[in-house]
Structure 1
Amino acid sequence: MRRVKKKSSETIKYQLFKSRVSLVLVVVFLLCLLLILRLGYLQIIKGDSYQERVENAQYVEINQNVPRGQIYDRNGKLLVGNKSERAIFFTRHRNMSNQEIFNLAHELAKYITVDDQRLALRDKQDYVLNHYFDQVLRELSDEAQLLKDGAISNSDFYNESYNQLSEEFVDMLLTDKDLNVLSIYVRMIVASELNPVAVKSKGVTEEEFARVNQDLDQLDGITTGMDWTRDYKFGNTLRTIFGDVSSSEEGLPKELTEYYKSLGYSNNDRVGKSYLEFQYEDILRGTKEEVKYSTDRSGKILGQEVVRPGKPGNDLYITIDIELQKEVEKLAEHHLKSLRKLAVEAKKRNDQDNDLEWDIHPEYIDAVNIVVQDPHNGEILAMVGKRINEDGKIEDFDYGTFAVTYVPGSSVKMGTVVTGYQNDVLVPGEFLTDEPMVFQDGTEKASFFNRDSKVDVDDQEAIMVSSNVYMMKIALKLLGLEYEKNMPLPIDISENSFKLRNGLNQFGLGVSTGIDLPNEETGIAPPLTNNPGNYLDLAIGQYDTYSAMQLAQYISTVVNGGSRLQSHLAKEVREYDANDSGPIVKTFNANVLNTVQINNKELEQLHNGMFDVFNKHDQTTDRYGTGWDAFHNLEPKAAGKTGTAEAYREGNSVLNQTYLGYAPADSPDMAFSIIWPTMPMTIPFFPAQYLGKDLVEKYYELEYGQPKKKPYNYSLDEFYPRIKEGTY
């Protein structure tokens, strides 16, 4: 039997060592192989990509703001331009710390002064905590002791400081110099890397500009240049409608930041904030200059070059005739002040004589809205709103023409008549009996011109004399009912009441006009279910509310034969040209929103009725059109419709008075709407219709060269006896 030969312990140790060395060599070999493969991957496959990243770390493209496009009226008159201003800019280097920015702000404060309007309480608290910490410890002694004892952390102490340090306390500590440094700092700290922001772009003095320019090499990241601000050539005229643009210091407005960022904007971009500037931002914004910055490895800017010059935005031409707009504004102010004065005088005389049964509140005569429109294409020629503020001064209220709605009264009656035609409950020339209407539940309805008798009128005369009963009988027919004295009104009208409202909607009443401005109000349209009395009121314009813009679209639809055209302010877009009108980029043509089905005979009845409203005095019946007093002497003749709606203000009865019209009557090229809200409840109605007369005459003067006429002069001696007797 063979004996097994045993290895010595030294041999075993040696073999184990060799195995470990071999394993280490294999691992080292594999790691080297992996490193070689990785280097090959980076250099061969990814080399171009990483080279591009290196270059991008050295050269960065950014966008610079450029002037916005200008706004012109329909005749090429400049309304909103740009005015150059000196500005101080800051560009944040890569890897620039907040402390470095603060140090730069501290240095720049020696050169310029910036207002502190943008400073929030938190900004001031942060500054105080960093520079007046001992005073804070004394102010918050209890918390300071807890901090010293280790009972609260630094973070807890700072949070408590934000809660307790009042604005009065921090303002007491901060000097004017502190506030200036802080104001500069908060403008600079929001800058993203290599994107310039304006530190000061308004009110930069020549001295400030020169001193900064002189020491630019000592102010790392600071540059000087020219900025722009909007220049309104006609002052406050249409100022609200033009809208606002954010400043260089503001950048994207907080409330619109997410919206604009979703479109690819940067924080420091100047943008439209409201109305036309916001609506046509894409047209007016222009193409920004692209700049390439070269930086060293630390991120410090070494130089820059323009790779693509900026281009101002395109110019927007709007439909407004600025001369007409200005003249209508003057008329609105004249009549607003004159009617307020007339009411004051009437109230004063009545306080002395006590011979009027009407309550007159002069302070309620405080607003008027006017829209002038081309009825054939939807272009707005003028839009004027005026109101008297609490200080008794007249201020612009232009947005009220589309953003505020009122119950309009009888001016909607052409829509009611057409709805009757369309639903085969009325034919052109059909006579209905105007009579006081009495229903089983005690509801009573009557026309103003005929309070207690029976009068047969057709659709033309019903419009002329503004017959309430005629319209209400149409409304009953739409429900499948014929009027009988003491008849019951249906309990549930929901099934058929929509016919009437839809009939008014097709003219633009109660729906969007499509006006190219944000925040249009379409009006209030309460439910029609178990309220038949309100349904009858709707037929005469006493229920739903509409704006002056909607009423202008409505009368235009009647004028042009049934095409409801989108109301719009944009006329065309032209490419920017510093020396002349640039080439047309886009034209805004008439856009038909819907077509009202109406034949020539029906249309003739409407037009004849509206002509009679302004021009007819029936000698046989001694009936007048409801607008005859003011409009019958116009040459060429005009046509239209008046309306009054009962309303309440502060618990007192008032009237909304509306006047719609078009001119010349035989070949109209303008249509208008006027709303006088909360006028005194008197008979006859307060004589506000003369604004419409003056408006047409002013249009004839500007468009046809007719002689200039003075606006209507109101006389209490003429009007007071009429309201005393209550005669129409």
Structure 2
Amino acid sequence: MVDKKKKKKVVLPYRLNILFLLVFLFFSFLILRLGVIQIVQGEQFLQQVERSGEVIVENAVPRGKMYDRNGKLLVDNDPSYTITYTKMSDRVNQYDTLELAQKLIKYIDVWDYQINRVTKRDKQDYWILTREEKAIAKITEEEKSQLKNDEVYKTIIERITEEDLQEITSDELKLIAIKRELDFGYAYAPQPIKNNVPYHEVARVSEHLEELPGIDIEMNSEGTRSYPYGNQVLKSFFGKVKEIPQEELQYYEVRGYARNDYVGVSFLEEHYEDVLRGQKGKEIFVIDKSGKILEKKETIQGKRGLDLVLTLDIDLQLAVEQVLDEELTKGMAYDKNKFMDSGYVVMMNPQTGEILALAGRVYDGNNFQDVALGTITKAFEMGSTVKGATLLTGFETGVVRAGEKIYDAPIKFPDGTPKKSWKNMGLINDFSALEMSSNVYMYEIAMRIADYNINTNVQKVSNAEAYNTMRKQFHQFGLGIKTGIDLPMEATGYEGPVTNVTKLVDFAIGQYDTYTPLQMAQYVSTIANGGYRLKPYLVKEIKESGANDAFEKIVHQTTPTVLNKIEMDEEYIKRVQHGFWLVVNGKQGTANYYFKGKQYDSAAKTGTAEVFVRDKLDGYYIRNTSGDLIESVNATMIGYAPFENPEIAYAVVVPYADDGAVNKYIGSRILDVYFELKEKRAESIPVSSE
């Protein structure tokens, strides 16, 4: 018994020793592991604990470029220097940006537009920062104890007088402009402080970057555009690129833009903003609780904007502008043309709607300036060029028959108003009415639509119905309605008030409602192609380009769009086509002299509209020394060529052209340059764009 008990006492301590050893080893392992965590991996785990999240910094990319239909560069990106500021923390306050602005202003000047953007609130905030004692004196101790901090500040703002703000000097105003830009920035996102920085300022700032925390100098190719053919060639149509306007900031921010982004603000740049803007590059950073960047997690490469290939032919455009300059110069030499100073031309493909040239020129007293925008924004009385639409309206409504003869002689309305053609033409049919440009033939159509008898002064159709009938037919050709061109701000022209039949007959000869040069080009194209109103367009293709502008692929290709088919017998359109052909080729055609001996066969219609001269600035009528309105003439012309299978249509408008035949010379010469260019290209002869 005794021996067995002794054996048990020996075994029990042995097992405990084993247990103690295991416990010792386990705790030794824990201590060792804890040491590794604290000493070896402590900094790594500490950073993970301190991480508060990620920030994404977006980097701008170049905008897409614009080319003409033959691949010639029209709009490029012009790299320039930009001074930027990046807040490296959300904890940057007003005093920090004021101190930085005071340093930066030593090395750069401020653009006038930046000073003009300084608001009254900007001045008030600055006044409080720099005149603290005066600011505090604006509020009593009792008010301080009763009001919250934000209410105290608001009260001080309200009590700052205009006299207080007048203390701010012009130098301080520049400082406020810089501070304002610094305050606008978001944390970790570069905020442009000054664009298009002169090189001498770049050099000065570069030397002092160490004392300018957050300031950097970047090459900017996002917002600065250059035009290889100069600022006077179609720049108004290309549009402008600017920082997002304040009034549109919310619109763009919900679409993913930053407040300091550049956007297209007019015409092609605006209309195709989504295409031209590109996809920004992104850098993802990990930050700690204080806002300090710990590491860059990821870089996502950006993609520059897509390119626009326009329908325009820059060689034709330049040639047309030269024709305008030369013919306007000749026309302005006539004494009677003292108010003539501008002209407009639109050339388009009547089979597709592609715009090949849009030219507008105005003489400013020294040089000719580009006003091509007027081809879609300015409307004029177009005169006899609308007679094709009037004749087709007569055919379609059944008030006149194809081939019907009407006697052309002066008429007089019962109220004494006389109406006549430029000469007495006698008994003429519809062909002759177009060839010689009869007013009386068109008057008769309008009076029949109103069911008006000039001898008895009885009218059976209301004026409203008669006007509506004619305008509805004109709309089929694009006259008086938008053409549908891929540009904003297109004008539709002016509709005169519904009055009486006397004005209705003026409407029938193009001396009442007004139309744009583009509407006239669409109208004549509709006649040229047999009755299809095509949507005019400026963008032929949208393409993606790779490195060094190497072509990669076509993203979109515009196809012709038929807006409507003219609802009338095709034979009617053919009769008008033949009448237009007679204008150029008939013995009595009003444009016969100007197209003799041409190598191409064309059709056209000339026009003159009697108008009163308006002031270019305010639009009011000008009066002579006797107080009478000054009369003048708009000289117009439309046409197309070749007569069979037409490939080019055009419209010419020259306001206030009292003497000469400037519209006909322009019409003839622009067709000449079109076919000359075509011949040179067919023979592979290089075309100069100079």
Residue 94 of structure 1 corresponds to: 90
Residue 540 of structure 1: how far off its partner (Å): 1.0
d(CA) in 2 for partners of 1:575, 1:630: 45
d(CA) in 1 for partners of 2:485, 2:153: 57
d(CA) in 1 for partners of 2:163, 2:529: 67
**Structure 1 pair 480/150, CA: closer, same or farther in 2 (3 Å)?**
same
Residue 234 of structure 1 corresponds to: 229
Structure 2 portions without partners, runs of 5+: 1-47, 145-151, 614-621, 623-628, 686-690
Is the CA contact 1:85–1:202 (under 8 Å) kept in the aligned structure 2? yes
Is the CA contact 2:50–2:289 (under 8 Å) kept in the aligned structure 1? no
d(CA) in 2 for partners of 1:149, 1:435: 95
**Structure 1 pair 124/340, CA: closer, same or farther in 2 (3 Å)?**
farther
Is the CA contact 1:80–1:230 (under 8 Å) kept in the aligned structure 2? yes
Alignment deviations for residues 687-706 of structure 1 (CA, whole Å, 9 cap, x no partner): 44211111111112111239
Residue 676 of structure 1 corresponds to: 654
Alignment deviations for residues 263-307 of structure 1 (CA, whole Å, 9 cap, x no partner): 332211111011100000011010111121222212233444553
d(CA) in 2 for partners of 1:380, 1:174: 50
Residue 215 of structure 2 corresponds to: 222
Residue 288 of structure 1 corresponds to: 280
**Structure 1 pair 83/304, CA: closer, same or farther in 2 (3 Å)?**
farther
Secondary structure of 2:113's partner? coil
Is the CA contact 1:116–1:183 (under 8 Å) kept in the aligned structure 2? no
Q: Which amino acid in 2 is paired with 1:493?
A: N
Residue 128 of structure 1: how far off its partner (Å): 4.8
Structure 1 portions without partners, runs of 5+: 1-52, 138-143, 344-359, 618-623, 709-728
Secondary structure of 1:668's partner? coil
d(CA) in 1 for partners of 2:590, 2:260: 57
> Which among 358, 376, 388 is matched to residue 414 of structure 1?
388
Matched, 1:515 2:485: yes
d(CA) in 1 for partners of 2:530, 2:62: 44
Is the CA contact 1:104–1:219 (under 8 Å) kept in the aligned structure 2? yes
Residue 105 of structure 1: how far off its partner (Å): 2.6
- Over aligned residue pairs, what C-alpha RMSD do you find? 3.0
Residue 54 of structure 1: how far off its partner (Å): 9.4
Structure 1, 113-122 or 604-613: larger mean CA deviation: 113-122
Secondary structure of 1:422's partner? helix
Secondary structure of 2:334's partner? helix
**Structure-to-structure mapping, 1:206-221, within 5 angstroms:** 208=202, 212=206, 219-221=212-214
Residue 670 of structure 1: how far off its partner (Å): 0.7
Residue 385 of structure 1: how far off its partner (Å): 0.8
Matched, 1:461 2:466: no
Residue 329 of structure 1: how far off its partner (Å): 1.0
Matched, 1:202 2:196: yes
d(CA) in 2 for partners of 1:230, 1:290: 24
> Which among 353, 356, 361 is matched to residue 381 of structure 1?
356
> Which among 56, 61, 71 is matched to residue 61 of structure 1?
56
How many corresponding residue pairs?
607
d(CA) in 2 for partners of 1:465, 1:298: 85
Is the CA contact 1:89–1:222 (under 8 Å) kept in the aligned structure 2? yes
Residue 676 of structure 1: how far off its partner (Å): 0.9
Alignment TM-score, normalising by the size of structure 2: 0.81
d(CA) in 1 for partners of 2:158, 2:344: 52
Secondary structure of 2:333's partner? helix
Q: Which amino acid in 2 is paired with 1:235?
A: G
Structure 1, 434-443 or 531-540: larger mean CA deviation: 434-443
Matched, 1:703 2:678: yes
Secondary structure of 1:675's partner? strand
**Structure 1 pair 465/567, CA: closer, same or farther in 2 (3 Å)?**
same
Structure 1, 91-100 or 215-224: larger mean CA deviation: 215-224
Matched, 1:439 2:419: no
d(CA) in 2 for partners of 1:305, 1:154: 41
Matched, 1:601 2:571: yes
**Structure 1 pair 211/268, CA: closer, same or farther in 2 (3 Å)?**
closer
Matched, 1:108 2:133: no
Matched, 1:470 2:471: no
Residue 630 of structure 1: how far off its partner (Å): 2.0
d(CA) in 1 for partners of 2:49, 2:67: 48
Q: Which amino acid in 2 is paired with 1:189?
A: D
Q: Which amino acid in 2 is paired with 1:504?
A: F
Residue 70 of structure 2 corresponds to: 75
Is the CA contact 2:542–2:557 (under 8 Å) kept in the aligned structure 1? yes
Residue 597 of structure 1: how far off its partner (Å): 2.6
> Which among 189, 192, 201 is matched to residue 186 of structure 2?
192
Residue 146 of structure 1: how far off its partner (Å): 8.5
Matched, 1:636 2:600: yes
d(CA) in 1 for partners of 2:423, 2:51: 82
**Structure 1 pair 54/260, CA: closer, same or farther in 2 (3 Å)?**
farther
**Structure 1 pair 318/687, CA: closer, same or farther in 2 (3 Å)?**
closer
d(CA) in 2 for partners of 1:573, 1:286: 13
**Structure 1 pair 154/503, CA: closer, same or farther in 2 (3 Å)?**
closer
Matched, 1:479 2:450: yes
Secondary structure of 2:392's partner? helix
d(CA) in 1 for partners of 2:531, 2:164: 66
**Structure 1 pair 611/334, CA: closer, same or farther in 2 (3 Å)?**
same
**Structure-to-structure mapping, 1:526-565, within 5 angstroms:** 526-528=496-498, 530-565=499-534
Q: Which amino acid in 2 is paired with 1:555?
A: V
Matched, 1:694 2:674: no
Structure 1, 626-635 or 468-477: larger mean CA deviation: 626-635
Matched, 1:274 2:266: yes
**Structure 1 pair 484/204, CA: closer, same or farther in 2 (3 Å)?**
closer
> Which among 304, 312, 324 is matched to residue 320 of structure 1?
312
Secondary structure of 1:425's partner? coil
Residue 405 of structure 1 corresponds to: 379
d(CA) in 2 for partners of 1:553, 1:56: 64
**Structure 1 pair 54/463, CA: closer, same or farther in 2 (3 Å)?**
farther
Is the CA contact 1:437–1:485 (under 8 Å) kept in the aligned structure 2? no
Residue 124 of structure 1: how far off its partner (Å): 4.7
d(CA) in 2 for partners of 1:491, 1:556: 32
Alignment deviations for residues 9-60 of structure 1 (CA, whole Å, 9 cap, x no partner): xxxxxxxxxxxxxxxxxxxxxxxxxxxxxxxxxxxxxxxxxxxx99994211
Is the CA contact 1:439–1:489 (under 8 Å) kept in the aligned structure 2? no
d(CA) in 1 for partners of 2:571, 2:657: 37
Residue 506 of structure 1: how far off its partner (Å): 0.4
d(CA) in 1 for partners of 2:595, 2:411: 31
Secondary structure of 1:118's partner? helix
d(CA) in 2 for partners of 1:433, 1:609: 18
**Structure 1 pair 534/103, CA: closer, same or farther in 2 (3 Å)?**
same
d(CA) in 2 for partners of 1:146, 1:302: 45
d(CA) in 2 for partners of 1:660, 1:99: 66
Residue 432 of structure 1: how far off its partner (Å): 1.9
Is the CA contact 1:86–1:209 (under 8 Å) kept in the aligned structure 2? no
d(CA) in 1 for partners of 2:126, 2:333: 56
Residue 392 of structure 1: how far off its partner (Å): 4.6
Is the CA contact 2:328–2:662 (under 8 Å) kept in the aligned structure 1? no
**Structure 1 pair 693/81, CA: closer, same or farther in 2 (3 Å)?**
same
